[in-house]
Amino acid sequence: MKKDYSFSVDVYDTADELSGDDAALLLKAQEATGNAYAPYSEFRVGAVARMSTGELISGTNQENASYPIGICAERVLLSAASSVYPAIPIDTIAISYNNLHGESDHPIAPCGICRQSLHEYEKRMNHPIRLILGGKKGKVYIVDQASRLLPMAFTKSELL
């Protein structure tokens, strides 16, 4: 017997095809890349969440001369959201980037550690987090639920 895991992503040729709210959130994520502290990688990432109440909150990657200390934009964002709005679910997160060594012309997806953090946030709030992924130009992906990016996740139910 085999057990299959799969999910679908909505693909848009450009950000112009998005709804007004989604396009605006992705633009905010692109603008937030200007606040990244990424002098080592020169890969600036911005993530902006729209809370279920409509408030916006952002995060950017924060690096350190001791490289492993660096934190991704997504986890900076989740920590900020959890600190400022601890009881409010996140509806949607837009993630964008500015690679100073490249074109930033395609979507990037959260790294493995961030997928684990996003998964926990969804389960904790019992509320799906939509992800809008896009660069400065080019295709945009929308994932309807962040936890889809982490099949077979390790969760708190193992710790009971």
Give the C-alpha separation, 31 to 93, whole Å: 14
Question: Is residue 122 annotated as part of the catalytic site, yes or no?
Answer: no
74 binds ligand THU (CB under 6 A): yes
Stretch that binds ligand THU, among 7-15, 48-56, 108-116, 150-158 (CB under 6 A): 108-116
Q: Is the dihedral of CA 154, 89, 38, 13 positive or negative?
A: positive
Q: What's the token pair of residue 150? A: 């982490």
Tell me how far, at minimum, the Cβ of 2 lies from ligand THU, in Å: 30
Q: What's the token pair of residue 14? A: 């450009």
C-beta pairs of 27-30 under 8 Å, 24+ apart in sequence = 28/56, 28/58, 28/94, 29/58, 29/94, 29/95, 29/96, 29/132, 29/134, 30/96, 30/98, 30/134, 30/136
Other beta carbons less than 10 A from residue 85's beta carbon: 16
Choosing from 9, 27, 80, 108, the residue that interacts with ligand THU (CB under 6 A) is: 108
Choosing from 15, 32, 45, 90, the residue that interacts with ligand THU (CB under 6 A) is: 45
Tell me how far, at minimum, the Cβ of 36 lies from ligand THU, in Å: 8
Tell me how far, at minimum, the Cβ of 133 lies from ligand THU, in Å: 9
Choosing from 25, 32, 49, 72, the residue that interacts with ligand THU (CB under 6 A) is: 72
> Which positions touch ligand THU (CB under 6 A)?
38, 41, 43, 45, 61, 63, 70, 72-74, 108, 110-111, 114
